[in-house]
């Protein structure tokens, strides 16, 4: 039976018209499950933009929805936990009918009441008075999702409180009108998400017990409970969630499913994620070309950071680290292109010299393993390790020797993000054929690509201890 009469041009405006249209009340979890199943049958992309979770996170999330569970997303920062929670809301009905109760009626109604099953005194009285002629309005999908960050959240914010102003106006302490409803009761028939659950005050965690188990809300001992229909989602970092005393055991026990998120398992997936998340335009009036090896280098830096002895692994290294490095690299190349009139500008190693400005603050150092290194020094060490990894994948030992032979012994070379690509033409008498083969780009015929390749080769030779390097006034000097 159709449950979306709002799609009709003659949308129901009363309870009578609504029921005649075929609409029937259903809990929010049943609504979500039904719509998700329908999308699954149609072969739709259930969670667009989530890359790398097709065989891991997404199947478990579908199971949790089908099982009607409240859900915890457990993972390190930058793994898409909040995005997954928000994407669940896209499987709600486009609009939901509710009783259109006037603001002043019986003291007002703070929630979107089910047209056939109201839970507040005002809602019940309004339906009893108007019956099938009771007017209805429509609640859009986007408004049926709300989220909150745990730190600083109080019981009154989330659950509710006795309203002193209403008591002062003469409302009886024992009357429902004396209550101030918190965010969760106001999301009745919707989805509520709590980020960083371990940082939620113990008192508020206790207040969530009945909501998760009995689906009712009790405010400060008030004698009336409210049967709340809400899907509750949580997010947390494993290092804090698993720490004793951070989350009350009884609350953990009431969460139906725990979905473990993760960083991209393959570098190619990480490249795809960064490309989709970056809002930097590569085309336009000042186009920028990003060679494949530069994209790989950006993602390899994040992967090296996640295994670095200098970085706190419990905190994690967000995908925002890669995104910041990529956007900064493109911005540097674009600035060069604008200044020097190069179109397109091609990203080089020297463009990544600016990435610490965007990456600082995105890593938490391991104070026991950093050996007093500054964050900038740690970032430089991570970048050097990433160059070594990516360079070794492109160049075999034999090819490395052939490339090295393209440079004269004892020669000094200078590279920099503001040097014209034509300057690199003089660095080599010829481009070894192995370059074109190794990098799969036209290094021989395109001066800007040649400059990018030259810088990458020099950085790779330095990373494999075949030449020395010094940095002076923003310029990098190599010596063979």
pLDDT in tens, 404-452: 665 656 566 778 788 888 877 666 555 555 555 555 555 556 788 888 8
More confident residue, 395 or 302: 302
Average pLDDT over residues 267-280: 91
Average pLDDT over residues 150-175: 70
Average pLDDT over residues 19-38: 96
Q: How many separate helices (H) and strands (E) can be counted in the chain? A: 19, 16
More confident residue, 213 or 114: 114
Going by their DSSP bridges, the two strands 475-479 and 412-415 should be labelled as antiparallel
Asked whether residue 394 carries a pLDDT value surpassing 60, the answer given is yes
Asked whether residue 1 carries a pLDDT value surpassing 50, the answer given is no
* Overall pTM > 0.75: yes
* Beta-sheet strands, E only, within 196-302: 216-217, 226-227, 230-236, 257-260, 288-289
Average pLDDT over residues 352-372: 74
pLDDT value of position 258: 97
> In the structure encoding, which two tokens stand for residue 308, read together?
């670095």
Q: Where are the alpha helices (DSSP H) in 395-466?
A: 397-404, 433-439, 447-463
The secondary element (H helix, E strand) that includes residue 66 is: helix 57-66
pLDDT value of position 61: 97
Q: Which one, of 266, 254, 246, lies nearest residue 212 by Cα?
A: 254
Q: Where are the alpha helices (DSSP H) in 278-420?
A: 292-307, 319-340, 356-359, 375-394, 397-404
Per-position b or e across 458-468, b if 16+ CB within 10 A of its CB: bbbbbbbebbe
Could you tell me where in the chain the CATH 3.40.50.300 domains are found? 5-260
Q: What percent of the chain has pLDDT over 90?
A: 48
Per-position b or e across 6-45, b if 16+ CB within 10 A of its CB: beeeeebebbebbbebebebbbbbebbbebbeeeeeeeee
pLDDT value of position 450: 80
pLDDT value of position 89: 96
More confident residue, 369 or 295: 295
**pLDDT band for position 341 (50/70/90)?**
very high
Give the span between the Cα atoms of 388 and 360, in whole angstroms: 22
DSSP letters, 125-146, are: HHHHHHGGG-BEEEEEGGGGEE
pLDDT value of position 355: 83
**pLDDT band for position 316 (50/70/90)?**
confident
pLDDT value of position 176: 63
Asked whether residue 219 carries a pLDDT value surpassing 70, the answer given is no
pLDDT value of position 223: 52
Q: What percent of the chain has pLDDT over 70?
A: 82
Q: Where are the alpha helices (DSSP H) in 179-226?
A: 183-186, 202-213
Mean pLDDT, the chain, as a whole number?
A: 84
Of the listed ranges 129-138, 162-171, 197-206, 258-267, the least confidently predicted one is 162-171
**pLDDT band for position 332 (50/70/90)?**
very high
pLDDT value of position 410: 58
Q: What CATH code is assigned to 5-260?
A: 3.40.50.300
Asked whether residue 72 carries a pLDDT value surpassing 90, the answer given is yes
pLDDT in tens, 75-133: 998 899 999 999 999 999 999 999 999 987 877 788 999 999 999 888 999 999 999 99
Q: Which long-range contacts (CB under 8 A, 24 or more apart) does 406-412 make?
A: 406/430, 406/431, 406/432, 407/467, 407/480, 408/480, 409/480, 410/479, 410/480, 411/479, 411/480, 412/477, 412/478, 412/479
Asked whether residue 2 carries a pLDDT value surpassing 50, the answer given is no
pLDDT value of position 265: 86
pLDDT value of position 20: 95
Asked whether residue 151 carries a pLDDT value surpassing 80, the answer given is yes
pLDDT value of position 12: 95
pLDDT value of position 164: 60
Average pLDDT over residues 182-206: 92
């Amino acid at each position: 039976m159709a449950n979306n009469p709002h799609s009709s041009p003659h949308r129901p405006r009363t309870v009578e018209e609504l029921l005649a249209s075929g609409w029937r009340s259903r809990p929010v979890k049943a609504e979500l499950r039904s719509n998700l199943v329908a999308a699954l049958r149609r072969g739709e992309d259930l969670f667009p933009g989530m890359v790398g979770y097709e065989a891991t996170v997404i199947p478990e999330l579908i199971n949790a929805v089908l099982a009607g569970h409240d859900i915890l997303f457990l993972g390190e920062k930058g793994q898409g936990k909040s995005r997954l929670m928000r994407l669940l809301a896209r499987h709600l009905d486009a609009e939901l009918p509710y009783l259109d109760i006037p603001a002043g009626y019986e003291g007002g109604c703070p929630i979107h009441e089910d047209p056939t099953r109201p839970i507040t005194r005002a809602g019940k009285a309004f339906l009893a008075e108007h019956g099938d002629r009771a007017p209805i309005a429509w609640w859009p999908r986007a408004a049926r999702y709300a989220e909150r960050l745990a730190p600083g959240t109080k019981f009154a914010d989330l659950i509710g409180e006795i309203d002193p102003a209403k008591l002062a106006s003469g409302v009886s302490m024992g009357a429902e009108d004396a209550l101030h409803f918190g965010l969760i009761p106001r999301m009745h028939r919707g989805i509520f998400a709590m980020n960083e659950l371990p940082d939620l005050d113990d008192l508020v965690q206790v207040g969530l017990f009945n909501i998760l188990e009995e689906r009712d809300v009790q405010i400060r001992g008030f004698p009336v409970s409210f049967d709340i229909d809400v899907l509750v989602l949580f997010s947390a970092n494993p290092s804090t969630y698993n720490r004793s005393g951070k989350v009350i055991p009884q609350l953990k026990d009431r969460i139906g499913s725990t979905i473990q998120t993760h960083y991209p398992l393959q570098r190619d997936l990480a490249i795809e994620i960064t490309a989709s998340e970056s809002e930097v335009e590569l085309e336009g009036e000042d186009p920028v070309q990003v060679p494949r090896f530069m994209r790989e280098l950006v993602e390899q830096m994040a992967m090296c950071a996640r295994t670095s002895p200098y970085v706190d692994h419990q905190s994690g290294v967000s995908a925002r680290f890669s995104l910041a490095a990529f956007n900064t690299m493109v911005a540097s190349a674009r600035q060069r292109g604008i200044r020097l009139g190069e179109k397109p500008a091609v990203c080089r190693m020297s463009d990544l010299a600016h990435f610490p400005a965007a990456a600082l603050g995105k890593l938490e150092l391991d104070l026991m393993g950093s050996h007093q290194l500054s964050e900038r020094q740690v970032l430089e060490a991570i970048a050097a390790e990433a160059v070594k990894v990516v360079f070794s994948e492109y160049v075999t030992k034999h090819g490395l020797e052939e490339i090295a032979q393209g440079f004269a012994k004892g020669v000094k070379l200078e590279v920099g993000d503001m040097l014209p690509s034509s300057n690199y033409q003089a660095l080599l008498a010829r481009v070894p054929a192995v370059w074109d083969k190794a990098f799969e780009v036209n290094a021989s015929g395109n001066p800007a690509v040649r400059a990018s390749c030259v810088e990458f080769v020099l950085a790779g030779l330095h990373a494999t201890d075949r030449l020395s390097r010094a940095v002076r006034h923003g310029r990098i000097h190599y010596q063979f």
